Amino acid sequence: MKRPCPAIPAAVVVGLILAVVLDTVIQITWKLAVSGLPAGAAAGTTIRAALASHYFYVAMLAFAAQLFNWMRVLARADLSFAQPFTALSYITVLAISTRVLHESLPVSKLVGVCLVLLGVFFISRTPSSTAGEPPGDRADG
């Protein structure tokens, strides 16, 4: 007998999508903040370049938004359910860095993307929350 797919609460879906978007923004803006630096640049040079870039501040704002968003997601879903969905940002970062940053996209990366999608598909077939009441909320605890 086929089990029905568990419904994922709308707030969790929105939070997971936002997590992927924010992580993508963070990764791309980090890269843009230090683009143009030589690969062997000293730490101080890298830090100064980052602090001089508006991309660095966009990344910091996205980090703050990500912190707030992630707390809200985890209040509604199991960590073991939510965390694998953030792997979708590997795909969005790969797509944007290929198109915008002109990075290469070999077949091995495409295979990796397919595996990530497959993993997220399987995780999405599980309940988003399996835990009962938190220990502090139980009458006996």
Q: What are phi and psi of 79, to 5 degrees?
A: -60, -40
- Domain chopping of the chain, boundaries: 10-128
In this predicted structure, the answer to whether residue 35 has a pLDDT above a threshold of 80 is yes
As a whole number of angstroms, the distance between CA 125 and CA 129 comes to 12
Which tens digits make up the pLDDT trace of 40-84?
889 998 888 889 999 999 999 999 999 999 999 999 999 988 998
Which tens digits make up the pLDDT trace of 75-119?
999 998 899 889 899 999 999 999 999 999 999 999 999 998 898
Closest residue by Cα to residue 112 from 86, 133, 80, 88: 88
